[in-house]
Amino acid sequence: MATLKQVVDVLETLYPLRYAESWDAPGLIAGRLSLQVTRIVFAVDPTRAVIAKATDEPGTLLVCHHPLLFRSVHAVSGLDVHGAIVGKLYESGCALWVGHTNADSAYRGVGQAAADAFGLTNQRPLVPIDDLAASHAVGLGRIGELAEPVTLEAFARAVAAVLPHTELGVQVAGDLTAPVRTVAVLPGSGDSLFDEVRASGVDVYVTSDLRHHPATDAIEQARYEAALRKQGIAAGSAAGDVLTPLAARPALINTPHSAIESLWFRYAPQDIADAVEQATGERLETHLLTMNTDPWTLTIPN
């Protein structure tokens, strides 16, 4: 059987820890390196419900996208949910590995999986990482093109159809009839990259967790620049667009955070099982937990 150390080495070859953002701490969170791994279970969030399902069989490695310990903690006792989860993992003979921002930027990682799911071609990273050892372009987010232009509303509905259901749903800001051809995608919280998205000149930005003030500023700036162009004044990254020069861009599509990041699992189980088999000769069983871990249980339109 493959040991946990062998599997972790494979994971960190596919999703190198050096790709992680400076504030992030992905990798092996809990588990004995000598553990004999019999299966790998995948889930976006290491919630207690996910842990309960993943630890029903000893020898399980749980691979999650979101960290268990996102912020620093000073205790993992029975008084704390993190301590309860760590304890459950060790008591059950299981382990937890997290691929967070390192998996966001990797080849066939979270960003590429989402962009592929939305039908984008001619992709490149939104924020490239210069890695001479990589055989493919890597970095945060993706920029790409649709095969044919569609309206913003049609594209937003296509995005929603690809995502697993949540009560939060999908929000859209922009002219619903405007044509969409170029797209930037950043699974996860994305309002910190508005400058990079504006500079790219894309028609629409698909991300998550857009806060009121940054989103309002972004869409208002897009509308103002479009108004200037209507007056014949070159403004914004769309000034050289000959097809839709007067469109306000980028429009915004706000998706549920865990839902868009779950698209990584269109690739990860197969990629990881193949790589572990190549490295160790062992073909591990894989299982995807599809339970909804989005925190919101009700949305009430007002």
Instruction: Tell whether 302 is covered by a domain.
Output: no
On the question of pLDDT at 55 being above 70, the answer is yes
Residue 301 in this model has a pLDDT that exceeds 90: no
Q: Are residues 135 and 84 in the same domain?
A: no
Instruction: Tell me, yes or no, whether 94 and 210 share the same domain.
Output: no
Annotated binding site for a divalent metal cation: 65-66, 104
Q: Which domain holds residue 9?
A: 2-100+267-286
Q: What is the CATH number of the domain that holds 224?
A: 3.40.1390.30
pTM, whole model, 2 decimals? 0.94
What does the pLDDT read at residue 242? 52
The reply to whether 127 and 246 lie within a common domain is: yes
Q: Is residue 280 part of a domain?
A: yes
The C-alpha R_g of the chain, in whole angstroms, comes to 21
Closest to 109 measured CA to CA, from 100, 96, 118, 121: 100
Residue 243: band (very low, low, confident or very high) from pLDDT cuts 50, 70, 90: low
Residues 139 and 230 in one domain: yes
The whole-number average pLDDT for the span 261-267 is 98
Helix axes 4-14, 268-280, angle to 10 degrees: 120
The CA–CA distances, whole Å, from 59 to 56, 62, 193 equal 10, 10, 40
Q: For the chain, what is the mean pLDDT?
A: 94
In a domain, 294, yes or no: no
Residue 119 lies in a domain: yes
Q: What is the pLDDT of residue 274?
A: 98
Pairing of strands 285-288, 179-189: unpaired
Same domain, yes or no: 22 and 65:
yes
The angle formed by the CA atoms of residues 286, 163 and 171, to the nearest 5 degrees, is 150
Q: What is the domain count for the chain?
A: 2
The answer to whether residue 212 sits within a structural domain is yes
Residue 203, pLDDT > 70, answer yes
35 neighbors 58 (Cβ within 8 angstroms): no
Residues 282 and 161 in one domain: no
Confidence of residue 238 (pLDDT cuts 50, 70, 90): low
Kindly state whether residues 17 and 73 are assigned to the same domain: yes
Is residue 301 one of the residues assigned to a domain?
Answer: no
189 — pLDDT class (breaks 50, 70, 90) = very high
Q: Which amino acid is at 144?
A: G
Burial 167-188 (b: 16+ CB within 10 A, else e): ebebebbbbeebbbbbbbbbbb
Residues annotated in a binding site = 65-66, 104
- pLDDT, residue 87, reads 95
Whether residues 85 and 118 fall in one domain: no
Percent of the chain at pLDDT > 90 equals 85
Flag whether 179 is in a domain.
yes
At residue 166 the predicted structure's pLDDT band, cuts being 50, 70 and 90, is very high
Has residue 181 got a pLDDT over 60?
yes
Let me know if residue 105 belongs to a domain: no
